[in-house]
Each structure stands twice: as C-alpha cells, then as structure tokens.
Chain A
Amino acid sequence: MRSTVKPLRKTGTEIDFHAYPDAQGRFGDYGGVYVAETLIAPLHELTETYLRLRDDPAFQAELERDLKHYVGRPSPIYHAARLSREVGGARILLKREDLNHTGAHKINNTVGQAMVAKRMGKTRIIAETGAGQHGVASATVAARLGLQCVVYMGETDIARQAINVYRMKLLGAAVVPVSAGSKTLKDALNEALRDWVTNVRDTFYIIGTVAGPHPYPMMVRDFNAVVGREARAQMLDEYGRLPDAITACVGGGSNAIGLFHAFLNDRDVRIVGAEAAGEGIASGHHAASLAAGRPGVLHGNRTYVLCDDDGQITETHSISAGLDYPGVGPEHAFLKDAGRAQYVGVTDAEAMQAFHLLARTEGILAALESAHAVAQAVRLARELPRDGIVLCNLSGRGDKDVHTIAAREGITL
C-alpha cells in the first residue's frame, strides 16, 4: 500500500549514499579541509583517531551504554493522531529527540565527541552554540567527564536564549560572548576556531553540527545517525513499512542528516529538509542556504553559503537561533545536487503556527527549530493520502524558547 508520491527528481539512482565522504572528506564537490595550516595536523590526528574508534567494539559498546543509560535512548516514534486528524492528511509520526537528556538531539553528538576527546587525552573542551542546546549538551558531558568547558555564543543569541546561557553556567561552563560580525552562530564558530588554533595541544573542539572541516561533518553525522537507525527499525517493527516521506529542520544539518542517513538508499522514501525562510526568501531576511545560496567555502568546508557578489558572508535571519546560520553541512549540499533530498523554506510565521498547532493538539512544546520541521510535516501530510506516513524529527523541546515566543506575542513574563 505504498503512496504514489515520489521524489521530484529521481537522478542518481546508482549512487550508494552510504559511501560518503571519500578519504579526503569529500561528498562529491563538497566538504574537504579548508583551514589554516596550523589546524591541518590536529585534524589529521583527529581523523585517524576517530576512524580507529569507529571500528573499535569497546568504544562502540561504551557509546551505546551511554546513549541508553545517560541520554535515555531509544527515543520513541510517536503517532501524533490529533495533529494528523486536524491536518486531514497522512499520519504524522514524531521522532521524539525532545525527550533526550538536555532536551534535543545535540547530546547524541556531544556524548560521542567527549568520548573521543577523553581518549585523546584532552583536558579542555570548547564549543560554539546558537540556540544554546549544543552549548548545554557540551557543558553537560564536560561536567560528567570532569573536563573544563568554554562555550562561545553570539551576543544576539545570548539575549534570546537566556535560559540556556544560565543552564550552561549551572553546569560549570564559561560562556564567552562574541560581539563580532552578526553576533550569531557563525561568529561563535569563528571564535571557537580561533580558540582551537591557539590551544590545540590540550583542547578538543566539539563542533555542534555537520559543518566544519573533515572529519567533523562525517563524525557528527555518525553520532547523530542513531536517530535514523532507530527510526527505520521502529518503522519496520511497529508499522511493518518505511515512511513515505521524512523531514527535519536544517540549520547546520545535524538532526536532519541524523534522521536522513539511514534512509538515503531507500529510494522510495521522499526526503525533505526544512530551512529557515525567516521573513520570506524574497525579503532577503532568511537563513535558507540551500534554497537560496550558492556553492562557496565557509568554516573549513565547501558547501552552499549565503553571500553577496563580493563573496562576503551575509547576515541571516531566523526566529530560531539554531537555524540562523549562513552555511550548511556539505553532505546536504551533495544530497541537494544529487537530487536525493529536497530543501524548502519555512517562514518564522509558519513555524510559529506549527508550534501552536502541535502544543494545542498534542501537548508538546517544540523547539522553534523543530517547529519548522513540524510545519513541513504538515505540508507533506496534506499532499499524501490518509494511509500515508510522514516521519518528522522533533529535534528538541521548546522550554528554551518560551521567552522568545512570549516577546513575539507581546507578552512580558
């Protein structure tokens, strides 16, 4: 009883999407290593170490134990029945990453990278953060392993994610405000790279998304791929079939590739990423790098970027700090060009609407990032017949966004 809806383009059917990146860290034309010479050797060492640990049964067993007992995995796939009924289309299932310890998918990655850091003998962890979820997830694992933790965060994001800033401090991390450029995620990433290049001997940089130079896009993907692996098995187990379409929000792209990866070679599963269209792509105030950007080089890899004709990276806008980024993971750039995944924009207003719809029908407050995915799931459900299934990654919970939402709606708390 498969749905008749198929991917828009069926090019690249011969590609094995699980064979990427290559040894140079390339996903087709994208990815690679575009960094200052000082970081070449440390990245090489990290790549070697990670590839060894990836094949080490003891490492994988420890990771699995931590994901189960500390993070709380597996997360369920939940049939949002009232939401589906209200939308009036296919069934919408939510992969509940919001139920993880610390409230988002980000912890899947930080637990893994912290284990790598520990094995490399590093004593200090640094991270960049936008929404603060990755900062919280980094501070969390640092506290657990007794490592020093410094989190870089743009001043704009510090203002709109105050709760997460305080959470990081409670966890013992130092939060360093970044006042350069647009004062958001990209500037925090620049500053973390500067710290890393300076303190590379004792410091491990936990990048929070599938961006940065190789091996980060691969390593962060691998640690988040548990989301899609679980979800695919749960689909077969509980529904006896794969979903017709899967969707996730795309900031840097870690929760999205986490869900997508296990399904990449299932050609009948349509894959759609939801980027932040902000006030609308036409307004220029958005963060839709894949939908509206062009190939370039940013933060150590070749990917789609938002920049002007002089190659200067442009300021982005999104209501959600976690999507407010002018680049995107190189694997998504590759999947877009290969036609395997589609990337579409969801505006601030559409995300807000989806946030309220989910809260009202299901009793779930989604993170504003995840609300973009919910909005896209609603669109897909409307296109599909009633017996169809849309699987949506609910990447995080909305507690951190309560103040932003209240302010937008003119309410002082």
Chain B
Amino acid sequence: MSVHSLSPAFPTAAARMNRIDQRFAELKAAGRTGLIPFVTAGDPRADIESNLAVLRALVDAGADLVELGMPFSDPMADGPAIQRASERALARRVGLTRVLEIVRAFRAGDARTPLVLMGYLNPIEIRGVAGFADEAAAAGVDGLLLVDAPQDDEALLALLQDRRLHLIRLVAPTTGPERMRALARRAGGFLYFVSMAGTTGAARVDAGAIEAQVVALRHMAPVPVAVGFGIKDAESARAVAHCADAVVIGSALVDHLARAADAAEAAQLAAQFIAPIRTALDARQAA
C-alpha cells in the first residue's frame, strides 16, 4: 500500500510531521545547531555502493539531515562546482531512477536521518509530479527542494503534503518583507535562507550582513531556519551558526569529494570534511 493511500487517515498536523520535524525537535532539545551537507547523486561515482558509502559517512561524521542533488542538464542556479558534479553524474547516466534507488538503499540502513531531494523541475515534470511524489515518499524521502518551482504553487504543495513530504521553501536576500512573511507562514520542515544573491559555491558568506534578516525570519517562521550558500568550512559554519538553526554546506564538499577514486576513498573524504565542522558547531554550543 502506498503512502498516498494511507494519507487521508492522518489529520493535517500529523500528516505534516515527518523525520525532518523530529530531527529539528531533537536538535532544539539538545541546543545543537543542525548540520546539513549536500552531495549530488551519482557523484563522485555512479554506483549505489559509493553513493551509500558517502551518505553513511556523512551521517556517521555528524550530519543531521542530508540533501541529495538530482542531476540536471541545465542547473541555472548553481555555480561551477555543482554544475560539474551534475555533468559528471549525467555522463554516467544517473537520472531520477538511480536517485530513488540510492534513497531506498540509504533508507534500508537508516530509518531516522531525514533526507531532502534538491533539484530542478523539468525532470520531475517529465516523469510526472504525482507519480514521482509517490515514488519519493515510498523510497523514504522527507522533503523536496525545487529551485525553479513556484513556491506558492498550492497544487504542488497539496500533492506533497498528501504524501507527508515537505516542500522546502527558500528565502533570499532580495525577498521583500511581505513575501518573506507569506513564505514563512506556509513553511514546512525548515526554511532555507540563501545567504547571498548569487549561485551556489560563490563567495564566502558574510555572517554579519545576514544576521538581521535571519533573526527576523526566525521570529516569523513556525519552522527552523537553515542558512546556505557561501559556507565552506568550520570557520564559516561557526560564524553562521551564531544566528541560524542549521547550516547547509554543498559546493565545498562536492569539490572535496570529486577526486575520490573509489567508494572507500569517497567515504573517507566525506568524513574528513564533515568531522571538523561538526566539532566546531558543537564547541560553539558548549562555549
């Protein structure tokens, strides 16, 4: 029986509670800052084992939630690092089918770590949005972040909610106060604050410059606020953790993994990258 056919039995509030909510509730109780690494599916290697090894290594090294990128031929909001990762994955024919296989394999060994798929609309439209949402929910996905999907698309939202999937909304420095309030009010899972106008992997974040906006957003939002773009290492993560519920780190990690020759090395590189960031975040909290 699909998740979809079960959903009418869930009351609205319960239907919206999933692994993402549980994880952020745990983080809040523990007073910890969430750590959200992003990797592109099928990169640095296409086989399920390598992808699984990386995801597990990230979790073991302290990731609280993982974002898995769905490769797309025209990633117009991404900088060179994630563009190249997408190109490498597509060259190995990694598409949505493989993405879902990776999620299923991950979920078989990890029932608790929330997983968000991130990508662009066209592959999902072509596969069929409702069918894809069914498959994603059944595979164990918890949220979708669709860069170029209209964030106020009620039909899309209803369709995801029916399957207990969160639509992760983005707020940018250019987002005006009125729209920010509207996005915050409708938010599910967590809000993703984009730290600068630009593509992924651009300049280093200026934590001081975003603080006022992030604080304002946290006041408005019924869900936690994660900050991404321009976070590259322990130092920038710690600076942002000062005002955010969670930090997202993508391009720098993707670049770091690119040189892996096999699954074991990819896993080792992932752990090596994430561990010091975890330590820095926890040290900040202890201080």
In angstroms, Cα B148 to Cα A32, docked, is 11
Residue among B121, B122, B149 having the largest count of chain A Cβ atoms under 10 Å: B122
B172 contact set on A, CB distance < 8 A: 36-38, 40-41
Contact with B along A300-325 (1 / 0, CB 8 A): 10000101011111000000000000
> Closest Cβ of chain B: how far from A171's Cβ, in Å?
27
Residues A284-302 near B (CB distance < 8 A): 294-300
Contact of A297 among B73, B75, B77, B122 (CB under 8 A): B122
Once the chains bind, are A42 and B174 in contact (CB under 8 Å)?
Answer: yes
B65-81 interface (Cβ within 8 A of A): 71-79
Contact B202 A297 (CB under 8 A): no
Judge whether B222 is part of the interface by a CB distance below 8 angstroms: no
Name the interface residues of A249-295: CB closer than 8 Å to any CB of B. 294-295
A298 to B120, CA, bound (A): 9
From residue 195 to 213 of chain B, which have CB atoms closer than 8 A to chain A? 197-199, 202
Restricting to A28-54, which residues have a CB under 8 Å from any CB of B? 32-42
Q: Which residue in B73, B83, B202 is a CB contact (below 8 Å) of A312?
A: B73
Which B residues are in CB contact (< 8 Å) with A201? 197
User: Which residues in A have their C-beta under 8 angstroms from that of B199?
Assistant: 194, 197-198
**A116 → B minimal CB distance (Å):** 19
- What A residues does B83 contact at CB under 8 A? 180
B171 contacts A37, CB within 8 Å? yes
Q: How extensive is the interface on chain A, given as a class?
A: 35 or more
| A200 lies within 8 A of chain B by Cβ | yes
User: How many residues from B make CB contacts under 8 Å with A?
Assistant: 41
A180 to B74, CA, bound (A): 9
- Residue ID in chain A nearest B93 by CB atoms: A310
Q: Are B150 and A181 in contact (CB under 8 A)?
A: no
Whether a CB of chain A sits under 8 angstroms from the CB of B258 is no
| Residues in A whose Cβ lies below 8 Å from that of B194 | 36-38
Q: B90, B97, B150: which contacts A33 (Cβ < 8 A)?
A: B150
**Residue A186 lies at the interface, judged by CB distance under 8 Å to chain B:** yes
Judge whether A190 is part of the interface by a CB distance below 8 angstroms.
Answer: yes
With the chains together, A215 CA to B120 CA distance in Å? 21
Instruction: Tell whether A32 pairs with B150 under 8 Å between CB atoms, given A200-B197, A305-B122, A311-B96.
Output: yes
A193 at the interface (CB under 8 A from B): yes
Q: Provide the residues of chain A in CB contact with B95, threshold 8 Å.
A: 310-312
In whole angstroms, how far apart are the Cα atoms of A309 and B132 in the complex?
Answer: 13
B18 at the interface (CB under 8 A from A): no
- Interface pair A35/B148, CB less than 8 Å apart: yes
Q: Once the chains bind, are A198 and B170 in contact (CB under 8 Å)?
A: no
List, in ascending order, chain B residues with CB within 8 A of A305's CB. Answer: 122
What 0/1 readout, one digit per residue, does chain B (142-166) give for beta carbons within 8 Å of chain A? 0000011111000000000000000
A306 smallest CB distance to B (angstroms) = 11
Whether the Cβ atoms of A310 and B148 lie closer than 8 Å is: no
Which residues of A are found within 8 Å of B76, using beta-carbon distances? 36, 189-190, 193-194, 299
A73: shortest Cβ distance to chain B, in Å? 34
Q: How distant is the Cα of A296 from the Cα of B74 in the complex, in angstroms? A: 13
Interface-facing stretch out of B4-12, B123-131, B234-242, B269-277: B123-131
Q: Which residue of A lies closest to B176 (CB)?
A: A41
B87 at the interface (CB under 8 A from A): yes
CB pair A34 B121 closer than 8 Å = yes
* Contact A309 to B174, CB < 8 A, known contacts A181-B73, A197-B77, A297-B148: no
A37 with B175: in contact, given A198-B202, A311-B126 (CB under 8 Å)?
yes
In the bound assembly, the distance between CA atoms of A37 and B179 in angstroms comes to 10
Q: A197-B199, A296-B126 are in contact. Are A36 and B74 (CB under 8 A)?
A: no
18 A-B pairs in the complex with CB atoms less than 8 angstroms apart: A32-B150, A35-B148, A36-B148, A37-B194, A38-B194, A40-B172, A40-B174, A194-B79, A197-B77, A200-B174, A305-B122, A307-B73, A309-B126, A310-B126, A311-B72, A311-B125, A312-B90, A312-B95
Chain A positions within 8 Å of B, measured between CB atoms, are 32-42, 180-181, 186-187, 189-190, 193-194, 197-201, 294-300, 305, 307, 309-313
Further 14 A-B residue pairs, CB within 8 A, beyond A298-B122, A310-B123, A311-B124:
A34-B149, A36-B147, A37-B171, A41-B176, A186-B74, A197-B198, A296-B122, A297-B125, A298-B74, A305-B122, A311-B95, A311-B96, A311-B125, A313-B122
